[in-house]
Structure 1
Amino acid sequence: MALFTDVVTLFQKKNDGSYVRTIVDGVMWTDTVEKSLSTGKLVMAKAISVTFPEETLDLIDLSTYSEEDAVFFGSVTGEITGEKGKRLSDLMMEYPRSGIIRSVSDNSNRDFLKNIKVVAY
């Protein structure tokens, strides 16, 4: 059983406001939902973790990610533009297994299992 069998789509915002779409095969996607009681109410928060193994590191560049970069589960063919119905938020509503990238951990300097781990909400 292989660990890295998932496909994700990265949308990275460029300086000119356009987005670059990259589809990466051979990653590990993990969904978690954290539940907690806050002031007597049940609060649920989703978190996504994506691990990019060494074989996929040449396909991506996460060294300069912004607060508008996103990751989607699966192969997403949609485009992101500034017009209504084609914004990042619209695409995220269409694909609920998605999130905004919040942190990137570069473990590519390790001797074994070189990888980059992305956490999104």
Structure 2
Amino acid sequence: MSTLDPALVRGVLARVARGQIVAVDGVLRHRSDVLPPHALSLLQALHQHGYLTLQPDPVDLAGARVAALSVAGTQLLDWSIRQPHTPCPLALLTGPDSGAPAETVAEPSRARQA
């Protein structure tokens, strides 16, 4: 059994918190980025277990509904932020709207190699 990567959880929940995740025809996705399959699976699991909810009214003509964190989702985001930093090479964490440039994420892994 594999463990859930706290960096992946943190990245996905942060995008939900910033209003970047929407549901179109019941499928959760990022507004503009293509997310890796494991990030999409995590989004679906978080929704099924009540960590995120969908706003009741569509926000655009395509019928997209914005995802939002529930109270439990906010607590999970807080937990994931308090975990030791684990560098994650996913574009999910280094995209233009992630809040951290790619060099910041890659830097700790270079320090370990030295």
TM-score interval for Structure 1 and Structure 2 normalised by the shorter chain:
under 0.3
Instruction: Please say which structure displays the higher CA radius of gyration.
Output: 1
| TM-score of the aligned structures, taking structure 1 as reference length | 0.23
Q: Which has the higher strand share?
A: 1
Q: Which has the higher helix share?
A: 2
